[in-house]
Amino acid sequence: MMKRAIYLTGLYLLPPAINGLRGGGLRPDREAELLRLLRRHRCLGGALRLFDEGGVAADYTFGQAGPKRAVTPGMAFRAASVSKMITAACVLKLAEQGKVDLDEDVNSSLPFLVRHPAAQEQPITLRQLMSHTAAINDGQAYQQGILTGAPASRVLQGDSYCSHLPGARWSYANLGAGLIACVLEGILKQGFEAIIQETLFAPLGVKASFYPQRIQAPLADAMRVLPPARRPGFDAAQRQARPLEAYERPDPEHRYTLAQGNCCLTADGLQTVLEALMRPGYLRADTLAMMRHPVADFGQRSAHLKQGLGIFQLNNPAISARPLYGHQGNAYGAVHAAFFEPQAGRGFIFLSTGASEARLAFLADVVADLLTLCFGEGAWPRTA
């Protein structure tokens, strides 16, 4: 709590970065509150969209996408952990097609061993990786692996497992979610990018990629608000200038850094994915129910969140009278969120270039406040 208090004090000493909003859809009083909220959380820039069965209900852009660049409609963002939900949609489609088995031992398709040191005979499955119940941990070996490009086999030999056993409880892990790409490559003998393009993006007509170099739309930077950063943590131009690896070919030893956070897409693309998860069509009704069904709770991390397959269930009457489903993303200072309320067919997208990372529990304060503003009683701009 002391760290949070210090962070909030430093945050409020910073001048707001946003002067106004571009776009519309909310009532004037709600629009004014949105601007106050974004300024209070020191958002640097981004996009907010609400949609329902009638289409886009409210659409805004605001602030800066990077040095001397404004956020514009049609801009793409690196979606951070919202990517986990996108990856899960692909995996579930493959399961429907009979190409993967959610409960098969992942070791049957990998060139390296994924085994908890204290449970060498216990299988680890895609279902466990998707629900953060595989007892995998983001340790120093994982952090170093991201920087050095170490193979997954070496990363898993380090401090990459929890003290509890697989299936015992929830423990959020980027490494575990990243290994999903390795498993898919091992099974299908294709690169993860090719798999998700063929399975998810092409059928939905979404222009997106897990490689920034393949994004044709303007791509936003991401920058930390506090401590103030002089340079973007995610520099879009720099990332897009990197040599593009042979993404079509499988390379399970090195693809553990994609599926958990590297998807780049626009608000339009993200809306299309959310719509596919909101109602049967791309996925069957029973598959959607399985995806949303809580597998584990968040324990002390949150009293209001439960974990499905690549998706969160948010039950907080102070935010919404009905359960919300979706995912949050945080990386390089950017904070993102994509949630939907399936009964009324309403969806929410928030993509930022940087915002306050303060949080009381798992959800960032800015995400909780925005969800409350948009899903609270009488808040929706029109009847769905």
As a whole number of angstroms, the distance between CA 174 and CA 297 comes to 17
Chain centroid to CA 136:
18
Computed over every residue of the chain, the mean pLDDT equals 96
Cα atoms found within 13 Å of the Cα of residue 366, Cβ hemisphere only: 35
Query: Which is nearest to 62 in space by CA: 380, 355, 377?
Result: 355
Tokens of 92: 């579930």
Query: Between 349 and 381, where is the model more confident?
Result: 349
Residues in the chain, how many? 384
Q: Determine the 3-state secondary structure of 378 from DSSP.
A: coil
- HSE of 9, CA atoms in CB hemisphere, 13 A: 6
* CA 41 distance to own-chain centroid: 20
Nearest CA to 354 out of 216, 211, 236 is that of 236
Cα–Cα distance for residue pair 215/197, rounded to 1 Å: 13
Indicate whether 1 pLDDT > 90.
no
3-class secondary-structure state, position 292: helix
Provide the residue type at 370 as one letter. L
CATH architecture of 2-15+25-375: 3-Layer(aba) Sandwich (3.40)
Rounded Cα–Cα distance for residues 297 and 131 (Å): 10
Tens-place pLDDT, residues 344-365 = 999 999 999 999 999 999 999 9
pLDDT category, 377, cuts 50, 70, 90?
A: confident
384 pLDDT exceeds 50? no
pLDDT at 148 (0 to 100)? 95
What's the pTM value of the predicted model, to 2 decimals? 0.97
Contact 50, 25 (CB under 8 A): yes
CA quadruple 320, 328, 309, 184: dihedral, nearest 10: 160
- As a whole number of angstroms, the distance between CA 33 and CA 25 comes to 13
- Inter-residue contact 82 to 270 (CB < 8 Å): yes
Residues in Cβ contact with 151 at an 8 Å cutoff, skipping those fewer than 6 apart: 112, 253, 254
pLDDT digits 0-9 by tens, 202-223: 999 999 999 999 999 999 999 9
- Point out which residues pair with 313 in neighbouring strands: 306, 325
Mean pLDDT score, 178-198: 98
User: What is the pLDDT, as a whole number, of residue 2?
Assistant: 82
Give Rg (Cα) of the chain: 20
Which of these, 312, 306, 363, 308, lies nearest to 340 by C-alpha position? 312
Buried b (16+ CB within 10 A) or exposed e, 31-41: beebbebbbeb
Place of tokens 């949070």: 4
CB 186 within 8 A of CB 99: no
Decide if pLDDT at 383 tops 80. Answer: no
Angle at 76 between CA 72 and CA 147, to 5 degrees: 130
- Counts of helices then strands in the chain (DSSP H, E): 13, 12
Per-residue pLDDT at 212 = 98
Residue 378: band (very low, low, confident or very high) from pLDDT cuts 50, 70, 90: confident
Distance CA 108, CA 41 (A): 46
Using a 10 angstrom Cβ sphere, with 0-12 exposed, 13-18 middle and 19 or more buried, the burial of residue 204 is: middle
pLDDT digits (tens, 9 = 90+) for 256-268: 999 999 999 999 9
Band (382; pLDDT cuts 50, 70, 90): confident
* DSSP β-bridge partners for residue 330: 335
Each residue's pLDDT tens digit, 132-179: 999 999 999 999 999 999 999 999 999 999 999 999 999 999 999 999
| Residues 261/174, Cβ–Cβ less than 8 Å | yes
- Phi, psi at residue 142, to the nearest 5°? -70, -45
What is the spatial distance between Cα 216 and Cα 378, in angstroms, rounded to a whole number?
38
Give the 3-state secondary structure of residue 144: helix
pLDDT for the residue numbered 108: 95
